[in-house]
Amino acid sequence: MDADTPPLPGRPRSADADRAVLEAALTLFLEGGVEAVKIDAAAKRSGVTRATVYRRYPRREDLIIAAITEAYRVHLDRPTPENPTVADMVDGIAGALADRRVRGLLRRMMSVPYDHPQLFARYRAETASDARDQVIHLVLARAEADGQLPPGADLPMIQALFAGSISTHLLTHSDDEPLEDVVAYLYRVLRTLGLEQDDSAVARTAADATRESR
């Protein structure tokens, strides 16, 4: 069976097998990136047959995307407020940055745009990356309108620098950093970029993020 063969009919899918296959693929991806995720390796590590994996994921790309999406599930399923604030934005990003597994995935994804552009495009679509970028832009625009950012601020550049600070955190901070420290880091970046935010608001965001993570 080649990589483009559609899944074959067979026995009903097992939820346990589904979880085992995705966990195996995710572990392989974390250990060695895209090239480490192979159907045979995922089958061996998950304790199922090669055919079982192929029935679910006929192409390696399908398997990788499913594994990544499942790892992000708790963050992807988190509802977005109707009118998100800076605190909501920081809360959501900090929650992901405090998740050890998500941190590992994001680091592995850093080279994917160059080595596997089609996979990266699908990853962005499946994880609603464009929608999240739009939410961040909306939050920054509202912050400018409310006087938290200087009038006429270069919002695209602020957003780009903020995104860069997230990458920096992934590469230079411990995966065991407490959630409240991640929140403080993100606010420090935003203040450096011109955001006016009082310390009590920062403390409330840290407390809310910590409570929701439990």
Residues 49 and 89 in one domain: no
pLDDT at 23 over 80: yes
How far apart CA 162 and CA 136 sit, in angstroms, is: 10
Whole-number pLDDT of residue 199: 63
Rg (C-alpha) for the chain, rounded Å, is: 20
Domain of residue 46, CATH code:
1.10.10.60
Whole-number pLDDT of residue 15: 85
Summary mean pLDDT of the chain: 89
Domain encompassing residue 51: 15-71
Whole-number pLDDT of residue 7: 47
Question: Is 36 domain-assigned?
Answer: yes
Q: Kindly state the average pLDDT of the residues 7-28.
A: 78
Question: Is 3 domain-assigned?
Answer: no
Say how many domains are in the chain: 2
Q: Kindly state the average pLDDT of the residues 179-199.
A: 93
Return the higher-pLDDT residue of 12 and 114: 114
Whole-number pLDDT of residue 165: 98
Whole-number pLDDT of residue 124: 94
Residues 106 and 194 in one domain: yes
Whole-number pLDDT of residue 80: 83
Residues 40 and 113 in one domain: no
Residues 60 and 86 in one domain: no
H/E/C letters for each residue in 9-68?
A: CCCCCCHHHHHHHHHHHHHHHHHHCHHHCCHHHHHHHHCCCHHHHHHHCCCHHHHHHHHH
pTM metric for this prediction: 0.82
Share of the chain above pLDDT 70, in %: 86
Q: Which of 52, 71, 90 is the last residue of a domain?
A: 71
Question: Is 4 domain-assigned?
Answer: no
pLDDT at 9 over 80: no
Residues 201 and 120 in one domain: yes
Residues 98 and 200 in one domain: yes
Whole-number pLDDT of residue 197: 81
Q: Which of 36, 71, 106 is the last residue of a domain?
A: 71
Whole-number pLDDT of residue 213: 52
Q: Report pLDDT digits (tens) over 111-156.
A: 999 999 999 999 999 998 999 999 999 999 999 999 999 999 999 9
Local structure of 1: helix, strand or coil: coil
Q: Which of 71, 88, 106 is the last residue of a domain?
A: 71
Q: Report pLDDT digits (tens) over 154-188.
A: 999 999 999 999 999 999 999 999 999 999 999 99
Question: Is 57 domain-assigned?
Answer: yes
Q: Report pLDDT digits (tens) over 40-86.
A: 999 999 999 999 999 999 999 999 999 999 999 888 888 888 899 99
Question: Is 7 domain-assigned?
Answer: no
How far apart CA 15 and CA 12 sit, in angstroms, is: 10
Residues 97 and 45 in one domain: no
Residues 94 and 200 in one domain: yes
Residues 51 and 87 in one domain: no
Question: Is 120 domain-assigned?
Answer: yes
How far apart CA 145 and CA 67 sit, in angstroms, is: 40
Question: Is 153 domain-assigned?
Answer: yes
Residues 48 and 85 in one domain: no
pLDDT at 201 over 80: no
Question: Is 197 domain-assigned?
Answer: yes
Residues 101 and 51 in one domain: no
Residues 161 and 190 in one domain: yes
